[in-house]
Amino acid sequence: MNNQIIYLDNNATTQVAPEVFEAMKPYFCEKFGNPSSIHRFGGSVAADIENARRQVASLLGATYRDSDNCATEIIFTSCGTESDNAAINAALHALPERKKIVTTAVEHPAVLHYCEELTRQGFTVEKIGVDNCGRLDMQALKKAVDSNTAIVSAMWGNNETGTIFPVKEIAAVAHAAGAYFHTDAVQAAGKVKIDVVDTAVDFLSISGHKLHAPKGVGALYVRRGIIFDPLICGGHQERGRRGGTENVASIIGLGKACEISAANLDEEYAYLKNLRDNFEQKLLASIPRIRINGDLENRLPGTSSVSFECIEGESILMLLDVFGICASSGSACTTGSLEPSHVLRAMGIPYSAAHGTIRFSLSRCNTAEELDFTAGKLPAIIARLREISPYWEEK
Ligand code: PLP
């Protein structure tokens, strides 16, 4: 197994599924028409995009009937980040008299950094905290959301710990104050059941590369009836809600990936949860002073955030890399920074544990053998690093 890559970093990005790649291929050299063209050559591509839109809508439980074309609730974008930005931007335009955004302390930078920019533009941003399991402080949320709040943005599943937020309850709090509700479901889509009607979300973001479609494509669900001002203005693509010629092949790929995920959701959930739980049990049984982060009762199935006390996460990653094992410390987007991630800090994980935190994130491509191999290598890696750690003392 030594020469192989064991890829346990699927929350950073996933392998494009072979069926997705196959579905995309014709759109490069054969069906390369512009979907906005009047001729049939382009028109047939437009029809294929509509099919992809239905596939995405279907994964999210968005209702559509051909007669009134509810599938227009889905807007294709360039990535999860754009979807997040576009949702918040649209809510602020739809409720111009309201100047406040309520979000959480553990959102992805795609939301948090955009909110920082909005504070520079004069908006107020309130970030709701979490407990040490990453669960949202619902009392604080209820207090924060008021008649000045345009939008509440809270993620469906956390990218670092996998903790799932009670989106239906959060949506109800937002709506009671007349605010919109957006959820970043970039990590949740394809892993847990999503039903935009039941949860009553107004906006929901997904990203292709987290569910075995390519990078550079995403989608935003916008509940029917919401006036949507585009973030990217230009041509009339996406019914005037997102300018720019469509990334056709990737959109087709995203549709196919959603179709595959929808068809295998329950089976894949059970598979990933079982792989992850067995892996964690092995680590807990063989390595002292570790903790599993997140809401253990309510987590995305393939995410495992493990804190190994008194050592540096980066050193663990380097020694795992010797065996071809790929994981990440904190969030992929904060790799390179030695500060514990904002998520672990918001959870109040002690510094000595937060520093030695590794995120293992699985996908359908992983096997039990790969996880056993990884669990088998970790005890010696951790022991070796603790031996040279100035902070480690045997208790
Ligand atoms: N939201 C979450 C929860 C994520 O994990 C990520 C990517 O890591 C994003 C948003 C950004 O998605 P994209 O890379 O498609 O912009």
Q: In whole angstroms, what is the distance from residue 320 CA to residue 161 CA?
A: 20
Locate 251 and state its tokens. Answer: 């959109």
Reported as a pLDDT band with limits 50, 70 and 90, residue 63 is: confident
The answer to whether residues 338 and 382 touch, using CB atoms and an 8 Å cutoff, is no
Tens of pLDDT, residue by residue over 313-361, are 999 999 999 999 999 996 444 455 578 899 999 999 998 899 999 999 9
Q: How far is the CA of 81 from the centre of ligand 1 (A)?
A: 6
Q: How far is the CA of 389 from the centre of ligand 1 (A)?
A: 34
Ligand 1, atom 8: nearest CA belongs to which residue? 12
Q: What number is the average pLDDT over the span 102-111?
A: 98
pLDDT of residue 284 exceeding 90, the answer is yes
DSSP state of 340: P
Q: What number is the average pLDDT over the span 284-289?
A: 98
> So what's the pLDDT on residue 331?
44
pLDDT of residue 82 exceeding 50, the answer is yes
> So what's the pLDDT on residue 1?
46
Q: How far is the CA of 333 from the centre of ligand 1 (A)?
A: 9
Establish whether 115 is a catalytic residue: no
Reported as a pLDDT band with limits 50, 70 and 90, residue 392 is: confident
Q: List CB contacts of 260: < 8 A, sequence separation 6 or more.
A: 17, 19, 20, 212
Q: Choosing from 115, 233, 333, 365, which is the catalytic residue?
A: 333
Single pTM value for the model: 0.96
> So what's the pLDDT on residue 391?
84
Tens of pLDDT, residue by residue over 172-203, are 999 999 999 999 999 999 999 999 999 999 99
pLDDT of residue 65 exceeding 90, the answer is no
Burial classification of residue 204, based on how many CB atoms lie within 10 Å of its CB (0-12 exposed, 13-18 middle, 19 or more buried): buried
* Ligand 1 nearest atom to the CA of residue 218, by list position: 15
Amino acid at 128: I
Ligand 1, atom 13: nearest CA belongs to which residue? 80
pLDDT of residue 15 exceeding 50, the answer is yes
Q: What number is the average pLDDT over the span 129-136?
A: 98
Q: In whole angstroms, what is the distance from residue 191 CA to residue 211 CA?
A: 8
Probe ligand 1: pick from 81, 164, 183, max atoms within 8 Å of CB? 81
Q: Is 214 helix (H, G, I), strand (E, B) or coil?
A: coil
Q: How far is the CA of 394 from the centre of ligand 1 (A)?
A: 39
Instruction: Give the pocket of ligand 1 (CB within 6 Å).
Output: 79-81, 84, 108, 110, 155, 159, 184, 186-187, 207, 209, 218, 332-333
